[in-house]
Amino acid sequence: MHRIFSTSVASVYSHYVVKVERKGRTKAELDEAIRWLTGFSEEELQAHLDGGTTFEEFFAQARLHPAADRITGVVCGVRVEGVADPLMQRIRYLDKLVDELARGKAMDKVLRG
C-alpha dist (Å) from residue 20 to 3, 8, 60, 86, 95: 24, 19, 25, 25, 12
For the chain, which domains are there?
Answer: 3-103 (1.10.8.290)
Instruction: Tell me the per-residue pLDDT of 53-101, one tens digit each, with 9 for 90 and over.
Output: 999 999 999 999 999 999 999 998 999 999 999 999 999 999 999 999 9
Is the pTM value of this prediction over 0.85? yes
- pLDDT score recorded for residue 76: 86
Instruction: Tell me the per-residue pLDDT of 88-108, one tens digit each, with 9 for 90 and over.
Output: 999 999 999 999 999 999 999
pLDDT band per the 50, 70, 90 thresholds, residue 110: very high
- The span from the CA of 101 to the CA of 84, in Å, is 25
CA-nearest of 20, 109, 6 to 57 is 6
Crossing angle of the two packed helices 27-38 and 86-102, in degrees rounded to 10: 150
- The span from the CA of 112 to the CA of 73, in Å, is 13
